[in-house]
Amino acid sequence: MNQMGYEYVYGSAARQLEYDVYEENQVLKAKKTYRSHRKIKLRMVMAILAVFAAGLAVMCRYAIITRIGYQINQRQKAYEMIRNENSLLRVQIETKTDLNEIKEIAENRLGMQMPDKNQIIYIKVPRNDYTVLMSADAKDEKNGNAMSKLINRAAGFLKLFE
């Protein structure tokens, strides 16, 4: 479009240079290469630091996992020792319990006596054993939201008292 001596340029109004300043001037060319090399070096250093940080994160994670594994192992050993000690104490209690000795202590020291026949009251206990089974609703709980799970559990808890 050329009207009355004006020329319209689409896009930027600045005219494009027809030559590259950096090609003709050696100083500017050296500065441009220095800047581009500096950017490449900076990117390389940043990439190395990122890889190093990722490696440290992975090593830290494995160190934590190993430490927790050692703690679990120590606690399992302590649990086994306590469980063994509990079993030994239970055996000692069972071996030292003599029903005749208990009867003698109850009668002589505590002044207890066997009840008369009119003092004995028999209670009838039903032989039915109650077991509560969860219905198919338990499968539905896995797919439902938290509120429906809570309601279902409360309903199951209330069924125990019926």
Q: Map residue 150 onto helix, strand or coil.
A: helix
Full-model pTM: 0.40
Handedness of CA 145, 148, 153, 156 (dihedral sign): negative
pLDDT tens-digit profile of 103-137? 888 999 999 988 888 889 888 877 776 666 655 55
CA distances from 6 to 9, 12, 90 (A): 10, 15, 109
pLDDT tens-digit profile of 11-40? 666 666 566 666 777 877 788 888 888 889
